[in-house]
Amino acid sequence: MNYAGPKLMVETTPASNCILGAAYYRRTYPKVRRPMELICEGAIARPMPAHASSNGGFTVEDGWRAWKPDV
């Protein structure tokens, strides 16, 4: 990482209506470093952005996703 990348992120975040956060320490985790090594080696494809959302209703009584609510 260089100075230009984070500087651009800080400058453009307000206009994007997004929240900018930094998890700088996580880049050293082995479970994060290994996938990056594999990506750089070309062993696996580059990740791509994705968004998933689930807003369906449910009740605890029917057992579907009963693990989710804190009852």
Q: pLDDT tens digits, residue range 6-31?
A: 899 899 988 888 888 877 777 788 88
| E strand map for 1-71 | none
Residue 65's pLDDT is 61
pLDDT digits (tens, 9 = 90+) for 25-66: 777 888 888 988 999 999 998 888 888 776 666 566 666 665
Calpha distance 17→36 (Å, rounded): 28
How far apart are alpha carbons 39 and 41 in whole angstroms? 5
Is residue 2 pLDDT above 90, yes or no?
no
CA dist 33 and 27 (Å) reads 6
Residue 29: what residue type? Y
